[in-house]
Structure 1
Amino acid sequence: MVDLSQYFPILLFLAIAAGLSAAFVFLPMGVSRLTGAHKPQAEKLTEYECGFPAFEDPRSQFDVKFYLVAISFLLFDLEASFLFPWAVSLDHTGWAGWIGMMMFLGILAIGLAYEWKKGALDWQ
């Protein structure tokens, strides 16, 4: 027979975490309802991010080029985050670190050239 009492601290931790999570989510909503902060009006429900109503259905699909540009941005942003620690530790890694980073940059350059050739960066 297995002694399940040794799992009690984990169960207690999970119960406390679930309770705190629920409190952080539902307590502010309940307080705002009770204090009268929830009073929707036409002016409060208007568009506030771009300043004008949307031209079309918000559930319409984006062009795939938007996603390609966003993925390219993330890719080169991550590249920059790899370059900073590499530059700091280059004296410790030596030639092996330099060759490894040049291979990494070469692969990224080939990917960028492929994207450019396919026209993924052309915005219409």
Structure 2
Amino acid sequence: MLWPLVVYGAIVLSLVGLILGLSYVLGQRHKERATGEPYEGGIVSAGGARIRFSSQFYLVAMLFVIFDVEVVFILAWAIAFRELGWYGYAGVAVFVLMLVVVLIYEWRNGALDFGPDGNKILAAYKKMQKPAA
């Protein structure tokens, strides 16, 4: 009963081996200076790959993942809308309301601010202008 799976696996492995072998035999080989360097859109890389990112970057990334996963739940509800009826609608309405409340909470706490604060920059600029007058 497993013989179709074994035959399929053998065919797949033989095709993979054939493609890799042909790529090795027919592929180009060159040893220029830039062959081993990473290519980033034509820009020569400078510095190391171990640069530090602000923790705000990771916070925004986590919030994106959290608010992106919610789409899966809402999409599943939309697919099963007719079977769930009004109880399902009420459940997804509460879910979306909770997401809006969390988004407002995060916005008020400054979790979505990942740049310089314009008000602080203007206040510092005004302080610099006062002694000159």
TM tier, smaller: 0.5 to 0.7
CA contact (8 A) 1:32 1:38 kept: no
Counterpart Cα distance in 2 of 1:123 and 1:53? 28
> Which structure has the bigger radius of gyration?
2
In structure 1, the partner of 2:73 is 82
TM-score (norm 2): 0.56
Counterpart Cα distance in 2 of 1:40 and 1:115? 52
Identity of aligned residues (%): 35
Counterpart Cα distance in 2 of 1:29 and 1:65? 44
Count of matched residue pairs: 115
- Measured against aligned partners, the alpha-carbon deviations of 1:26-60 in whole angstroms (never above 9, x if no partner) come to xx999988988665532223331343244443112
Q: What is the Cα-based RMSD across aligned positions, in Å?
A: 3.7
In structure 2, the partner of 1:46 is 37
CA contact (8 A) 1:90 1:97 kept: yes
CA contact (8 A) 1:65 1:120 kept: yes
In structure 2, the partner of 1:97 is 88
In structure 2, the partner of 1:73 is 64
Counterpart Cα distance in 2 of 1:63 and 1:84? 33
In structure 2, the partner of 1:59 is 50
TM-score (norm 1): 0.59
Distance 1:44 1:122, change over 3 A: same
Following TM superposition, the consecutive aligned residue runs of length 4 or more in structure 1 with deviations greater than 4 angstroms are: 28-40
In structure 2, the partner of 1:119 is 110
